[in-house]
Chains A and B, each alone.
Chain A
């Protein structure tokens, strides 16, 4: 039987893209075979129960849990630099998720001890403000946690807790100017309409530094890829914090609090922390730092091979291998490919540049010989940061940007 995997292996990149545009046959195959296209290396336990499942308005996603809803995009959904809304991953911490939010009665309350006044912003108000558009990657801090060695506790994501969309909304800065920010303000606190199942569980509340809130690219988005946000991606409006991991991108945004003291609560500390000094990140969240840990901030430079899976069968000769690269907002300078395990490297061809916060497509022509062919990828951004060869272990499994090295078997 010819499987989709074989079809992909034998097709050129163009044909592969055309097939994946349908999105259907491969997922069907995954279901028919009773196997879910999980990322190699995630904990064995995931395989024992995870299935593809379809949320309202979504295509089938890999369901890791339904309360809270955690659904990962399979590799096939990453063959374009923009991730369609119905293929975009879903991530919630808590399980009291509003079933429906009425945009006509929806409001964002703006205030806090660091604000001069208070305001309520309706959905209409938001849309009347100057509109800003930005293409940006939304990646869960824990994306690839499932690949940590040793494994660490948490939602065991493979490659697919991320997506890139064209967002449209109002600047957070413009919203803050409606209430006035005092000079002693240090952070902007954020809350959304989702909450815990019981009152004693800490609500998911986050903050960002004032400097990041005032960035012209930080917006409260009400459109995603030209359409209203899908419910499970934060309808009617969510925060977009380009370059930073998804934990700050508050969905169903209901409260914006200007703060003169650091935001407390479980979700700021001990959650979402990285060890001080272990990762090459530039953006710091100083008011939340302590001697040993600091909040996760910008994404580390990374790439993903999306045309093939590890172990795929291919034909001998020229084979187009392609994928995506991204970083914390400095932009991708070069993507290099090695077919000899990292001894020598060649530049991949970079595709369409949708902006410094976006997925950057790349492609490489592999001259496949009979037997095993390895393809290793390393992206470098415009400030000279590259991916890591060895995992930088940390207890929460964040920032996994280990270079992939996949094997393709040519008959």
Chain B
């Protein structure tokens, strides 16, 4: 046990000042490029797997619409459709 604790403390000291950047690997499928290009300008892609797999097509539609209408995300109609389709197919419930 002590070895473990010592190892952990050493690991803690070795950590850089900032937490490592969160890396989210989204499922590679059609539309993933539109998601990456539009969504992560403002927020972590973590919100996608976080809200899965329970959101259905209507749920993901509402989320993307909220980002455009309430949050002012500059996403054109074609990209919005591709993003909704991608989320529903890959992270839908």
| A positions within 8 Å CB-CB of B | 22, 24-25, 27-29, 32, 43-46, 48-51, 53-56, 63-68, 95, 150-151, 153-156, 196-202, 266, 270
Which residue of A25, A28, A201 is within 8 Å of B72 (Cβ)?
A201
B8 touches A49 (CB 8 A): no
Contact B51 A66 (CB under 8 A): no
Please measure, in the bound complex, the distance between the C-alpha atom of A46 and the C-alpha atom of B21, giving whole angstroms.
17
Residues of chain B lying within 8 A (CB to CB) of residue A46: 49-50
Known contacts A25-B8, A45-B51, A64-B50: A201-B71 contact under CB 8 Å: yes
Query: Given A22-B5, A45-B91, A151-B54, 5 more contacts at CB 8 Å?
Result: A25-B8, A66-B19, A66-B22, A200-B72, A202-B70
Q: Which of A32, A54, A55, A197 contacts B12 (CB 8 A)?
A: A54
Tell me whether A45 and B42 are in contact in the complex, defined as CB-CB below 8 angstroms, given that A153-B55, A200-B72 are known contacts: no
Are A197 and B42 within 8 A (Cβ)? yes
B43 touches which of A43, A51, A95, A154 (Cβ 8 Å): A95
List, in ascending order, chain B residues with CB within 8 A of A199's CB.
Answer: 72
Instruction: Evaluate contact between A65 and B44: CB separation under 8 angstroms.
Output: yes
Interface of B is mostly: loop
From A48, A51, A266, A270, B49 is in contact (CB under 8 Å) with A48
| Minimal beta-carbon separation of B37 from chain A (angstroms) | 14
CB atoms of B72 and A45 under 8 A apart: no
How far, in angstroms, from A196 to B44 measured CA to CA in the complex? 13
* Listed A/B pairs (29) with beta-carbon separation below 8 Å: A22-B5, A24-B8, A24-B9, A25-B8, A28-B4, A28-B7, A29-B4, A32-B4, A45-B49, A45-B50, A45-B52, A45-B53, A46-B49, A49-B22, A51-B22, A56-B18, A63-B19, A64-B46, A65-B43, A67-B22, A67-B42, A95-B44, A153-B63, A196-B42, A197-B42, A198-B42, A200-B71, A200-B74, A201-B73
Residues of chain B within 8 A (CB-CB) of A68 are: 43-44
Contact with A along B1-40 (1 / 0, CB 8 A): 1001101110010010111111010000000000000001
Closest to A153 in B: B51
- The answer, among B17, B18, B42, B62, for a CB contact under 8 Å with A201, is B42
Q: Is the CB of B21 within 8 A of A66?
A: yes
Q: How far is the CB of B80 from chain A (nearest CB, A)?
A: 15
Contact partners of A22 in chain B: CB under 8 A? 5
Q: When the two chains form their complex, are residues A25 and B44 in contact, meaning their CB atoms are under 8 A apart?
A: no
- Which residues of chain A are within 8 angstroms of B74 by Cβ–Cβ distance? 198, 200
- For residue B12, which residues in chain A have a CB less than 8 angstroms away from its CB? 24, 54
Residue ID in chain A nearest B68 by CB atoms: A200
Say how far A339's CB is from chain B's closest CB, in angstroms. Answer: 32
Complex-state Cα separation, A43 to B59, whole angstroms:
15
A200 to B68, CA, bound (A): 10
CA distance A202 to B19 in the complex (A): 27
Alpha-carbon distance between A43 and B72 when the two chains are bound, in angstroms: 27
Minimum CB distance partner of B23 in chain A: A49
Closest A residue to B91 using CB positions: A45
Given contacts A24-B5, A66-B46, contact A43 B53 (CB under 8 A): yes
- Residues in chain A near residue B70, CB distance under 8 A: 202, 266, 270
The answer to whether residues A53 and B20 also contact, given A24-B8, A67-B44, A200-B72 and a CB cut-off of 8 A, is yes
Q: Identify the closest chain B residue to A58 (Cβ).
A: B19
Q: Closest Cβ of chain B: how far from A266's Cβ, in Å?
A: 5
Cα distance A48–B26 when bound, in Å? 11
Q: Which residue of A43, A54, A196, A202 contacts B50 across the interface (Cβ within 8 Å)?
A: A43
Contact between A198 and B44, CB atoms less than 8 A apart: no
**Separation of A153 and B52 alpha carbons in the complex (Å):** 9
